[in-house]
């Protein structure tokens, strides 16, 4: 199974925000879209960074409520870990675990074509295990 399989199930919708917007705007968008991270864009780059709920919570804990008035650019992660549609789910799990990240933009030919989360990976793996279980039960019961 690869990342393209995950995207075919979850869809390719990408929640984005401009790096000039405020963190308060980002928090509202995270809630509105029901996502845990936003792809950050700029005039120069379609993938200038990524901003996650975790980034916001850490900044709030360190700097207090004033962080909500800061720009997304002040909080975003600029060195974004990405993957490709051909990346295997196993490799994706390893990448997420090694880098301790929960959201990874999927890039094809320099364009963001989706975002996968650890929840997407867990769901795919669970579905895969359920399928294997069904197959084994069918095999055993057919004897």
- Where in the chain are the domains? 3-141
| Per-residue tokens: 83 | 């993957």
- pLDDT at residue 103 in the model: 97
CATH superfamily of 3-141: CBS-domain (3.10.580.10)
Q: Which of 21, 50, 19 is nearest to 36 (CA)?
A: 50
State the Cα torsion 79-12-29-66 to the nearest 10°. Answer: -10
Q: Going from the first residue of the chain to its last (143 residues), give the mean pLDDT of each consecutive group of 10, the final group possibly shorter.
A: 92 95 98 96 91 97 96 96 95 94 95 94 82 72 71
**The pTM is what?**
0.86
| The pLDDT value given to residue 143 | 62
Q: Which pLDDT belongs to residue 141?
A: 80
The rounded distance, in Å, linking the Cα atoms of 69 and 109 is 35
DSSP secondary structure code for residue 37 in this structure: E
């Amino acid at each position: 199974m690869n990342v393209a399989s995950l995207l075919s199930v979850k869809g390719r919708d990408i929640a984005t925000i401009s790096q000039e917007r405020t963190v308060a705007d980002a928090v509202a968008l995270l809630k509105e879209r029901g996502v845990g991270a936003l792809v950050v864009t700029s005039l120069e780059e379609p993938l200038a960074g990524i901003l996650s709920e975790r980034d916001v919570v850490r900044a709030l804990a360190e700097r207090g409520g004033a962080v909500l008035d800061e720009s997304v650019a002040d909080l975003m992660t600029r060195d974004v870990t990405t993957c490709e549609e051909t990346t295997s789910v196993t490799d994706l799990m390893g990448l997420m675990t090694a880098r301790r990240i929960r959201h990874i933009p999927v890039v094809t030919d320099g364009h963001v074509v989706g975002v996968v989360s650890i929840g997407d990976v867990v769901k795919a793996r669970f579905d895969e295990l359920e399928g294997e279980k069904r197959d084994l039960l069918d095999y055993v019961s057919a004897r």
